Each structure stands twice: as C-alpha cells, then as structure tokens.
Structure 1
C-alpha cells in the first residue's frame, strides 16, 4: 500500500538532521517481486536478508490479506525479532507480524475494517480495533492510513523526545501527538482551525493546564451540558474530555522535562497533576519512563 510505505519513508528516510544529528540510517528492503500500491515496482538493492542487522523493522500495509504473506518475508521478520530488532507494522502489515507469531499473547491493532479477520485468523492475538496504535515489548502496530504516521511520530518521540517529534510534526503539517489509545474511528472528521464547536474551548483549556479543570468547568466555559460536551469531544478529538486533558498535561510535562531543570514537584504543579506521585504514575503509563529517566534521556545537555 503506497500511503503507509510513503509515510515511513518520509519520516525515517528523509534527512532531518537539523532536528537531531545523526538522524536515522534508512534502508528500503524487499524481494525482487515487491510492488508498492499494486503498480509501482520497489526497485531496491537491499534484500530481505538486510533485516537481520536492523535495529527497527517497519512492515508497511500489504494489499492482499486474503492469502498468507510470503514465507521469505515471515522468516526475515521473525529472524530480525530474534536478533533483537524493534518490529513495527503499519495497517495490514500486522498480518505479517501475526503470521510470524510475533503478536501471540500481545495486544495489536490494524485497520478497523480488517480487525475481525485478523482476530479470526490469529486467535492468539488480542486484537483491539478501537485504538490508533499499540506498543508492547518492542512490537508495535498501527491502524490504517493516518494512524501509521501517528505511530511513526511515536517512534521518533520515544527515540528523541517530544521536542524533536513536535518539530517534525510541524514540518509535516500533521497533529504533533495523537495518543495511541485514541479512538481509531471518529464519527465526524477531525477539524482544525476554528470550524468546530470546541474551537474556543481547546485553546482556553491549554492555557490553564496548571489548574484542576473538571468536565463541569469545561462544559461551563463552552456553554453546553456535560453530556453535549462529551459528544462534541469524541467527534472532534476521538476521546473524552478528561483523557484529552491528561494527554495534554503529559505532553506539557515532556516539554518541561526536556527544556529545563524544574523539579518534578514543580512540573506536577505546572501541569495540573497536583503531586509528584500523580505525575509519575500517569507519565510512566503514557511514556513508559519515569520523569527522571525521561529527563536523563531527552533533557538539554
């Protein structure tokens, strides 16, 4: 599938060393019969044996999911995982990871239209069709199309921090951070600018993340009922008001940890978490690292 392959190439295969140097060393690998988008030949000098020496392997979406993936691809992905590589699938690329046995006992996702087939064909996989992406023990999967870009940015954020990922998102003109747990299917299109019912409310809330905002506070500011607010939030952001607030608080905490030396207690206050214990709990759940370790990894040196 052309879109998902192009997303990975744009993020990792384009030189973004102005953001962090060195950037990723990128290789496009495939068999001699590989096609992209069903019509574009993937003419690459790198065969599937190159996967064995990779640190990260990204399997883009496959067009044909009715039959089994090519055996040589399954073997190459399985060998890369055994060698310690991080394995990533975009959209229906999850069928390759499942065929290789890498999703057994793990939670995974794919495009919502193919989730039932993935679950039926591979019953050992816990298929979650309601999320944008998953990240479990070095095996990552994404939903379809734009969610593949979300997962690519998540990888950059994991490797290089929120500041670099946000700068890259601005360059690509895409949302800087959609949480992996955000709903995959949003009833109404996500709208940007000021053409939606929350256009005034979202910036208002972002300026007050240091305050203990409640759903009632947001509803009062938006001049609507709590139930109506929840409906609009789900339509615009794909998540609930409180989950959106929490993701914004964690995002702000990431930026503060990267750019300064404020104490965790002070950052907890500035992000509206209240206490350092609350910040540590939510931060570690979202990022996989405690705040102190995150600062050591991504803080300004």
Structure 2
C-alpha cells in the first residue's frame, strides 16, 4: 500500500504531531488535572466519583497550615545556603581551570561534573554514611580537629547527630546539594568563558592589567547572561528540592520537620495523608512563589538604564 504524499505545508505539522501528542498526555493534561484537583477534595482509593468541589478551601487550608509555612522556610533556607556558595565557588574555580589547564581541562571538568550526572539516590546514600553519628567520616574528621590547639575551640565538643538533630540536618542537606551542583555551574561558566574573545585579554595585558583586574573588568561583565541563567536555575531547582531531603530524612522531614522541604511535604500530603486536593493547591502556591522569585531575579539582572 502506497502512503499518500505530503505537501510541503503539511509536512511540518505531521512531524510535530508526535511531540504535541506526548506533550498533551504527559505535560498539559497533568497540569490541567492538578489545577482541577486544587479545587476538589479527593481520596484516590475511593475512585474518581468521590471527588467533591470545595472551591478555594484547599488554598485557605494551605495558607493556614503551619507545616506548609515551615516547609517553605526550610526550602528557602536550603536554596539560599546551598545556592549562593555554588556560584561564589564556581565562578573563580571556572576562571582558574580556564587559565591553568589546557590539555587536561576536559578531564578536570568531567571530574567536577560527575556528581551532577550521578544517581541522586546513590549520592544521598553515600552522604548518609558520611553523616553517620557513630562511624561517619565527617564526625571522625571533627574528632581530629578537636585535638588541634586553636581550631579545636571552634568544633562542637560532642559527636554531632547530623541527620537527627534539628540544628544540623539542614546544613547536612545543604552540603549535599552544594557538592552535587557546584560542578554543573563550573561547566556553565567555563563554557561561557571560552566564548570571550582573547583580544580583550591581550589588550588588557598590554595596558598593564593583572589577572584580578581582567577577571573583574572583562570576565565578570561578559559572564552576566550566563550568571543570570545559572542563578535562575538555582532558584527554580532550590525551591523544588526533593530527592536529597527525602532520602536523608527517610521521607519524614527529620526531627521537628527541620529538613522537610515543600516538595517533600507535598508528597506526604498526597501519599501519606491521601489529600490530593490540598497537595495540588500547595503545588500551585509553590509555583507562584517560584514565578515571583524568577521575576525578581530577572529584575535584578536587567541592564540598568543610563
């Protein structure tokens, strides 16, 4: 059987059809259904017929829920503490790799990028062992630092229970997130640095500018679009933090819910408490927060009017 010949006007639409169908089924429909659920009360074990329209009650419940606000505070703390150091370390590190490594550059970059492409579950299990109270290497290192005359004063006197103490569980999660994503930002900035014309640096050297001056007056201004891109990814990703916190706290948020992010709380609300309506409402509130902070980031990086 001979297939009908497509005209030049029909061909683009036929080629786009598989993507459009997949986007509708796996992208658009879940979003629309989540928005629909936000105005319903529903326990999935009772079937679709058990849905009941409740208006804005789910949103009001979310805004009055102390755990929801606490999860937002935890998420903001983790996004700030793990996100800002990522860029403060990745920028000078990328500049150092760009200036110091030539033949070995790809290998060095691959080593820094490896944590980003490694399974999140494997990384979280590794860090669970590192933060172990009795046998973790981090506590062993702290024990060695306690024996030093000057540094030992700054180290906690007792063994730290990283994954159960409410005061330490957020720093433990932030350390994991920083370690995993700093290499990704290094790759972003290094790729952008390679597009900067070398003539600028040669002219600066001829004028007597040192490496530090070249970094602040040539590299940083040229990297502003990539910094905006990287910071935006950190904001969006930090507010959606889930796997690291979920595994380190065993899906419960830790003691006093100190490590419970908003994404973890949404999961618990839906699958532990069987309240998909409230979970959907909270997810849309989180979407509004992400959109607002992304807009503020865009405003911060917008070129100033002369």
TM value normalised by structure 1: 0.25
Structure of larger gyration radius: 2
Structure (1/2) with the larger helix percentage: 2
Structure (1/2) with the larger strand percentage: 1
Q: Using CA pairs below 8 Å that are at least 6 residues apart, which structure has the higher relative contact order?
A: 2
